[in-house]
Amino acid sequence: MSTTVEKLLDQAESEIRQRGYHAVSFRDLAASLGIKSASVHYYFRQKEDLGIALVKRYGEQFFSILDEKAEELDNPLQAVIDVYRNALTSSDRICLCGMLGAEGCGIPKTLSDEVAAFFQANIDWIAETLPKTVSVAERKRRAEHSVATLQGAMMLATSLNDHKVFDRAANSLLE
Amino acid sequence: MSTTVEKLLDQAESEIRQRGYHAVSFRDLAASLGIKSASVHYYFRQKEDLGIALVKRYGEQFFSILDEKAEELDNPLQAVIDVYRNALTSSDRICLCGMLGAEGCGIPKTLSDEVAAFFQANIDWIAETLPKTVSVAERKRRAEHSVATLQGAMMLATSLNDHKVFDRAANSLLE
DNA sequence: GTCAATCTATCTATTGATAGGTAACGTTAA
DNA sequence: TTAACGTTACCTATCAATAGATAGATTGAC
């Protein structure tokens, strides 16, 4: 049995990943849990606080699963693809940071900073796993390309309502 | 001197590409032009109508510029990259359809359908320019990969506040 | 006089946010 | 032992701001 905070975070993540930050209200969230919007403010003083908690939790979960997956598989890039694919197919939603990253300066700055940190960590993680025989600049370039493709592929697959679009675009990274 | 409708479309496109559909209001738009929100409703009965007009115009302009660019250059994929790059660097904003595509089911269905059509046309355009020696399925895969990468790269570059991220990720497509 | 383009005024719904109340429960101290 | 207190987790009620939308008046060009 999860706590109210966890349920709130789960619900908020689900709704924001589906419709965006501005399309989700405290009242919606509260109603989904059968409580009142004032109770959501009890846990998160401002909407911004909820957003930040959400991105932090998302990042922790993401890298935790990624590290685990990378140990199982011998190909780190395949691990990244698997984690992204699972994020998409298990819920038919794009990445939380993909959504918030798109909304750019429409969301509080503290929140977009947190989102940027997620992307940077994602790029660094991938760059670190590439062969050391490749230059630092080239590793960075390839890592950026991978993250860009995966994020774009999630959005594209969701818009075109076809997860296979993600698979095809993502698998192109493995060549 | 552009008409009020054109100014409205310009302003709406600029604001939506920067902050998202839900973060833009008729009052904001009207105020930017020095008119009242009721006058915006005179041109676009509902917000949804404005959105659809916006995506249609965006698509027309996009493919018009793309065709032009493709005639100048001998490499069609380079033309696509150039058009995307210019969309990003000239205004520091992501693609209109990238934003609306992310917002997914948070926007009216008629609008998301229009966005999906843009993406499909974009994929088809690229697939068509790839060598006929390559199978149809493979051309489709490569085209999807290109669009995914370019869309993701715009978002990533905007979030990380560094246009070079776009250039590096996009140039990876030319290999 | 007609009509396009704008206005004023207003409606209802929703938003994020706050103040203050209450019921349940554990802790503490006489 | 039990009365008092504090904390947690909600609640009701309400606010000011903003949203999309509409009705109907006005203005000015042709």
Residue A82 (CA) to nucleotide D7 (C1'), in angstroms, measures 45
Q: How far is CA A147 from the centre of its chain?
A: 11
- CA of A40: nucleotide with nearest C1': D10
Confidence of residue B1 (pLDDT cuts 50, 70, 90): low
- CA of A23: nucleotide with nearest C1': C15
CA distance to B43, B44, B56, per residue, from B53 (Å): 11, 9, 5
In a domain, A140, yes or no: yes
pLDDT of residue B163 exceeding 80, the answer is: yes
- Could you list the residue range(s) of the whole structural domain that residue B162 is in? 4-174
Instruction: Please tell me the predicted confidence (pLDDT) of residue A104.
Output: 86
Cβ–Cβ under 8 Å, residues B103 and B22? yes
In Å, how far is B72's CA from the nearest CA of chain A? Answer: 27
Q: How confident is the model over A122-142, as a mean pLDDT? A: 96
Q: Do A147 and B145 make contact, defined as CB atoms within 8 angstroms?
A: no
In a domain, A92, yes or no: yes
Q: Do A144 and B168 make contact, defined as CB atoms within 8 angstroms?
A: yes
Count of domains observed in chain A: 1
Q: Do A20 and B153 make contact, defined as CB atoms within 8 angstroms?
A: no
Which backbone phi and psi does B133 adopt, to 5 degrees?
A: -70, -20
In a domain, A83, yes or no: yes
B150 at the A interface (CB within 8 A)? yes
- Pair of tokens at residue A48: 């911004």
- CA of A5: nucleotide with nearest C1': D9
SS3 call for A28: helix
Q: Do A144 and B156 make contact, defined as CB atoms within 8 angstroms?
A: yes
Burial A110-138 (b: 16+ CB within 10 A, else e): ebbebbbbbbeebbebbbeebeeeeeeee
Residue type, B122: N
pLDDT in tens, B27-69: 999 999 999 999 999 999 999 999 999 999 999 999 999 999 9
Residue A86 (CA) to nucleotide D2 (C1'), in angstroms, measures 57
A38 contact to strand D (CB, 7 A limit):
yes
In a domain, A41, yes or no: no
CATH number, position B139: 1.10.357.10
pLDDT in tens, A42-101: 999 999 999 999 999 999 999 999 999 999 998 999 999 999 999 999 999 999 999 999
In Å, how far is A76's CA from the nearest CA of chain B? Answer: 19
